[in-house]
Each structure stands twice: as structure tokens, then as C-alpha cells.
Amino acid sequence: MEKIFNVKMRAAKRGDHKQGGIHISGAERIVKKENLEKTVSELMKRAFNHSKGECDFINFSLQELNKEKIIKIPSLDIITIKVDDYKEGRKCAINVMNKSGIEKTKCEHILKLLEDSEDMKGAVIVDINSLKRLDNEADKGVRVTGMDWEGNNVHILEETLEKHNINNNHVKEAVALASKVISAPGIICELCWSDDPDYTAGYVASEELGYVRITHLKQHGDSKGGRIFCFDSSKAEINECINYLRKTVTLINTVPLINGEYTSDKYLEDSDERNK
Ligand code: WAQ
Ligand code: MG
């Protein structure tokens, strides 16, 4: 039987993350053994060519996976909302989160949490009932690991994204991550924008709305980004959810539909229509 490996890369400058180095880049893949060398070399190139600066430390880990424990999940579909600037984008993000079923004042609070969070490695998890943080703050957030596109889908995925001019690593990895996050027990929605200074787009994801990209959620040049997972503590146990996010290996076995571009007004009007 063909062996499958999880390859993880993390890169930093001024030394190892564990000795205070500054995080530059991180990524992971799930690949067949025969593709290990190619994958390691791609990830190494990525580490050395990052807008956050040149790294002087890279850590690789390669681990064989138990194929029987891998679960397959579908991709979220993609919609893009075009906004003029990040202020409009953040307002729009609040409205989209609200559409996912969270009260508007709570959505405002959640967005502010992301705006105010500093130097996170993973995601903040917030309970949508009490608005309390459920991740351990000392850990700098929960890292989701063990997800990727199923090998055979990647070419179709890239062609599909290419047609809409969104074939880049940010989109590919974020859609895979969000699809896993939304499939986790108790998670209602996710809000994210990148920490890469030259990548201003972000998204809100939910089961019903899919992966809703918003073209600007921060100003160009800003290297503050993050992720917030909104969790409903009446629906699941937080430990079960965090375990799933950290440990369950998931492959995305469908290719997303790309449902066009909207202005924020048009998106909100249309989704009101859909919900009637
Ligand atoms: N698990 C949890 N949180 C993570 C993970 C992970 N595996 N990876 C990154 N984060 C958190 C961490 O706090 C980062 O600072 C933050 O998210 C942003 O990470 O065009 O590139 O990898 O469709 O910079 C959105 C794409 C791209 C929008 C998001 O995030 C589009 C992106 P980045
Ligand atoms: Mg980044």
C-alpha cells in the first residue's frame, strides 16, 4: 500500500520560534511518499521567498499517517464580495457573520477581538453565548493541522481558481482550512485575515454561507492578521472540538463551486432573498 505523509514547515528569522525567533511562514501538506522530495523543496522555496522577510531558520517535520484514520470532507463553496477598502470590508464581515446566525452586537465584539489580538500563532476560539475565550491564551491560539486537498483534485481545483484569478496559496490553503474548521463539532463560523502585509483579502466562513471572501479586510502594509473561530457551547464540548481541529486528519475530496462576485449591498440583499 502506498504510504502517505504529513509534511510540515515553519520558518522564522532571528532563530527558532522556540528561542524567540519571529515567525515568517508556515505550511503543511499531505502527500504520497513519492512526492515528499518535491513537496519539501516547494515549501523551502516558499519559506525563502516571503513578503514578511528572509528567514534564517526552517523546521521540517515528515510523519507517516495511518490511512484508515483519514476522514474525507467536502469543500465549502466560494463567493467573493468586492469592497473599496478595509473599513467597508470590516463592516461587511460583521454583516456576513450576522447572517451566519450570530447577533450583530456579538459580531462587532468578535471582530474587535481579532483587531486587538497580538502575535497569534493559531486561532482564538470564542463562545458565542458568553463571548468568553475558550482557547488557552498562553498558547497563542489553537493551530489547526492535518488538512489538505486530496491529491487528484488539486489540478481541477487550480484550473477552477485560475479562471477566477484567485489561484494562489492563500486561497488554496484557507479554503481547505476553513472547510475543516466548519466541519468541526460546535463551530458556527470563522473570521480571518492574513498576517502577510501585501495580502489584504480575508473571509467569513459558515456551513450555510460557504467561504465568503472579502477583498479588503485590512490596509496594505499591515502585518496584523488572525483567525477567530465562533463556537456554540450548547452544541458540543470544547475539548472534542479542539481535538478534532488539532488531530483529525482530513482530506478535502470535492472542488468548490465559485459563485461569482458581489458588492456588499448586493450580497446582503440576495441573501435576504434566499432566506425568505
Ligand atoms: N490554524 C489556526 N490558525 C492559523 C493557522 C492554522 N493552521 N495558520 C494561520 N493561523 C492564524 C495565525 O494567527 C495567523 O497569524 C493568521 O491566522 C493568518 O494566517 O483570498 O493567508 O496564513 O480567499 O497569513 C485568506 C485568503 C488568507 C482570503 C489567510 O492567513 C482569500 C492567510 P495566514
Ligand atoms: Mg501568513
**Tens digits of residue pLDDT in 128-154:** 999 999 998 778 899 999 999 998 889
Ligand 1 contact, 144 CB (< 6 A): yes
| Alpha carbon distance 124, 140 (integer Å) | 8
Ligand of minimum distance to the alpha carbon of 148: 1
Position 187, amino acid:
I
pLDDT of residue 140: 86
Ligand of minimum distance to the alpha carbon of 245: 1
Q: Is the pLDDT assigned to residue 119 strictly greater than 90?
A: no
Atom of ligand 1 nearest to the CA of 166: 20
Q: What is the pTM for the complete model shown?
A: 0.95
Whole-number percent of the chain with pLDDT over 70: 99
Q: Is the pLDDT assigned to residue 274 strictly greater than 80?
A: no
Ligand 1 contact, 81 CB (< 6 A): no
